[in-house]
Structure 1
Amino acid sequence: MDLDFTGKTVLVVGGSSGIGNGVAHGFRQRGAQVHVWGTRPSAADYDGIEGSDLEGLGYAKVDVGVREEIAAAPAIEPLDVLVLCQGTVQYRRAEFEPAGWDRVMAVNLDSLMDCARKFRSTLAARKGVIIIVSSVSGYTSNRGNPAYAASKAGAVSLTKTLGEAWAPEGIRVVGLAPGLVDTKLTKVTTEHPERLEGALRSIPLGRMGTPQDMAGAALLLASPLAGYVVGQTLIVDGGLSL
């Protein structure tokens, strides 16, 4: 079966909660051995946290906003699929200041290249796949979050460039751009009824996305069904960006 990942090894960076956690379990449920990276000291530190389920997943603490932690993180060999789902955002105009800008860019953009570089040879040996998770914010203005929008636009561009650069090595780089998904990063919208109502009016499907929706798209992109897709980012937003 094209969506059977039995015998495959997957790493989901940012897989401890939210979209990444949904993606991790999507691969696990289809037979893959799945590892995730998160920022808390141990898997037990996620017990009881909404949107976090680490049962059946390997876990390592790696703050990808710190380049040295990526370099020091344990090797994973073999590796067939690398999902780069790390992300952060800072509200109340914090991203207009140097500290806020630097942190968001370090996590959302710089670490994508650092992680991809770390596992490049391992993925090439397995003719593997990198999925870079960006956002529909990479295609539009986001007046309150300049670093978030710029970093996601950079992620879309990086997907194109690495897709072209590394395809001859057998690494297929593709992207996934979620719309509004109910996670901890979107509570600023989902926990305010008026904001949520307005957001839902702009989504043709009339609902928010779920981590499981994103998992379905990631599984497709990593599978042989998308074997001729290189450098493209799939927008998965219920029609929001239309």
Structure 2
Amino acid sequence: MTDLLDFTGKSVVVIGGSSGIGNGIAQSFRRAAAQVLVTGTRPDEGDYLEAEDSDFTGLSYAQLNVSDRDVAAALAESLGPVDILIQSQGIVRYSRGEFEREGWDDVIDVNLNSVMDVARAFHSRLVEAKGSMTVVSSVAGFKANIGNPAYSASKAGAVSLVKTLGAAWARDGIRVNGIAPGLVPTKITTVTTEHPERLEGALQRIPLRRLGSPEDMAGAALFLASPLSSYVTGHTLVVDGGLTLQ
């Protein structure tokens, strides 16, 4: 069983792997002996160390701002075969900003349009390796999120895209799956996790009575990229402590 989670010699790219869930996933693959490249929007990984709880030990870094629709193709062209592609990019706009056109467009561009841009850019690299792609979406893709229409719509779109690409790319030897995290402490969720009353209310709605962690999401990512899931494609795995059961 341990051998099935050994990624020695595998090439892994984690889009949005500079912080949060993406960084946790990247480090888990690194500990499993993979060669891991992470991307972030800042010029250098050192720019994250003071502002974010990020760990770049053993990782390679490339700047990539996915709101620029053409940059993913340039990155993919600079690489060889990619065994595992993780897409963990994402933004949110609070204070009802997503009800306005600018906020809506910003969130849809990063959370949905860029997912297809990256997938398209890396398709040939994944074909070479007969690899897999995992898209990190959210439980918001399965339920209403009253204050964030673009976030919910984009995550629902990502879930649907996983299904479609899972079917379309199976003939190319590529498996496409997704992870839908519940409430995990990241810079996106501080509006809840750093406010005790909101946090307590959220915990009461989670049957396991705890927050998720990047490591929880990493376990799902390792499974979906491993031979243990060799007959799984087009599926988004909900990892939420039971939140969506309520």
When normalised by structure 2's length, the TM-score is 0.97
Q: After TM superposition, where is structure 1 displaced by more than 4 Å over at least 4 residues in a row? A: none
- Contact preservation (8 Å) 1:10, 1:79: yes
Partner of 2:195: 192
1:105-150 deviations in Å (ceiling 9; x for gaps): 0100000111011110110111100001100000001110000000
Aligned to 1:120: 123
Q: Secondary structure at the match of 1:26?
A: helix
2:70 is matched with: 68
Structure 2 contact 73–122 (Cα < 8 Å) conserved: no
The percentage of aligned residue pairs carrying the same residue is 62
Letter in 1 for 2:64: V
For 1:41-52, list aligned pairs within 5 A: 41-52=43-54
SS for the counterpart of 2:5 is: coil
Question: Is structure 2 residue 160 aligned with structure 1 residue 136?
Answer: no
> Any unmatched runs of 5+ in structure 2?
none
Note the C-alpha offset of 1:65: 1.2
What per-residue deviation string (whole Å, max 9, x for no partner) do you get for residues 9-42 of structure 1?
A: 0000000000000000000000000001100011
Aligned to 1:89: 92
Is residue 2:150 matched to residue 1:183?
Answer: no
1:159 aligns with 2:157: no
Please state whether the residue corresponding to 1:16 is helix, strand or coil.
Answer: coil
Amino acid across the alignment from 2:73: A
Paired AA for residue 14 in structure 2: V
1:58 aligns with 2:48: no
State the match for 1:100 in structure 2.
103
1:37 corresponds in structure 2 to: 39
Task: Describe the superposition over 1:150-207 as per-residue Cα deviations: whole angstroms up to 9, x where unpaired.
Answer: 0000000000000000001000001100000011100000111000000000011110
Q: Structure 1, residues 31-87: CA drift from partner, whole Å, max 9, x if none?
A: 000001100011111122332111211101110011022233352212100000000
TM-score (norm 1): 0.98
SS, match of residue 10 in structure 1: strand
Q: Tell me what 2:206 maps to.
A: 203
